[in-house]
Chain A
Amino acid sequence: MEKADVGRKILGANETCALKNKQFLARHGKRCFNMISSPGSGKTSLLVRTITDIGQSLRIGVIEGDLQTDIDAERIRATRAPAIQINTEGACHLSAKQVSQALEGLPIENLDLVIIENVGNLVCPSAFELGEDGKIVVLSVAEGDDKPVKYPGIFAKSKVLLVNKIDLLKGGMVDFDLDRVFADARRLNRDIEIFPVSAKTGEGMQKWYDWLTSQARSH
């Protein structure tokens, strides 16, 4: 019997591919963000609203990840922004390889920014680097204010937290302690930017737009 110290990263092949994506994006001078949340928190709605409101000044290309269908890519294309749909056919996360193929399909030269909407899942996507400059986690108020404690991984790894559907807080439709979410998320991640927003009413969206624009311009 012989024991060998291997010390190899298990997801190393994905990371190598993610690095290639990063280099591709850097070569073209484009920023890229990886949007992660539970199903239905409002990722596509936020993207549609963002592109509708500021798409003239900030040209965003979208990569949509879903188990099945191209419903989300169609919703993005309805705004006239380019979108590539990836169907993972059961896989709970996007891989760097899938994203590298999708990147080839985007008119990268005509864009300021690429946003990847990952498969709806608060756990698995956070383990797979795609080559992004940062992760954006979306939490909608109807999911409850305990999520940063219950799913610490994604909150610790993200640059931005969008707390969506804050319109539902009016009139006490949902019990959700925003202060608790700020405190719990910041305890794990001192630098995380938190924007409470509503994709439905547009409330709070301007600060998110300012942040996104500053990121795209800082290249």
Chain B
Amino acid sequence: MHEATVAQSLIEVILQEARKRNARPVRAKMSCGELNRINDDVLSFAFEAVAQGTPCEGMTLRIEHKPLQGRCKPCGRVFAVDVSNPHCPGCRSEEFELLPDAPLVLDEIEFERADDGEG
């Protein structure tokens, strides 16, 4: 599965950001949309494996899943689309426009500065 590629790319991006700040990354948060769904367990496992021996070793990764959204044509409401039964929860209409799905994004990283230490 492509979780391995995602893990590899994720670590590369984290390492670039860490180098810029000259700090050690300890936690990261990423997000993905419904149509770019990834499996949390598989990704976490791959992330741990790829992190071995890099400054990312031991980091914790949090994954947020963003729902697919649609905008109802009759009433304009923006709602989370249930792919197996998509309809507007307001007016029950099945006429809606699909909004762009969230891509895979590294949202934030928490760093520990070299001088954070025990103090």
Contact = CB atoms under 8 A, between A and B. Distances in A.
Interface of A: 1-14, 91-93, 95, 123-124, 126-128, 149, 152-153, 156-157, 187-189
B67 interface: no
Closest 6 CB pairs of A and B: A124-B2, A153-B35, A10-B104, A152-B83, A2-B111, A8-B106
A1 to B, nearest CB: 6
B118 interface: no
B34 interface: yes
Given A6-B108, A13-B12, A127-B2, A153 B37 contact: yes
B101 A1 contact: no
A132 B75 CA distance: 35
A92 B116 CA distance: 42
A67 B83 CA distance: 31
B104 to A, nearest CB: 4
8 contacts: A1-B112, A2-B113, A6-B13, A9-B103, A10-B13, A11-B6, A12-B13, A93-B5
A4 B111 contact: yes
Name the interface size band of chain B: 35 or more
Contacts of A123: 1-2
B110 A2 contact: yes
B110 A6 contact: no
Nearest to A91: B5
Contacts of B37: 153
A9 B105 contact: yes
Centre residue among B2, B23, B101 by max chain A CB count within 10 A:
B2
Contacts of B2: 92-93, 123-124, 127-128
Contacts of A8: 13, 17, 105-106
B80 interface: no
Centre residue among A13, A91, A156 by max chain B CB count within 10 A:
A156
Nearest to B18: A4
B26 interface: yes
B41 interface: no
B106 A11 contact: no
Contacts of B9: 10-14
A126 B36 CA distance: 8
Given A4-B21, A92-B2, A11 B108 contact: no
A123 B116 CA distance: 43
B84 interface: yes
A189 B103 CA distance: 18
Contacts of B108: 3-6
A6 B107 contact: yes
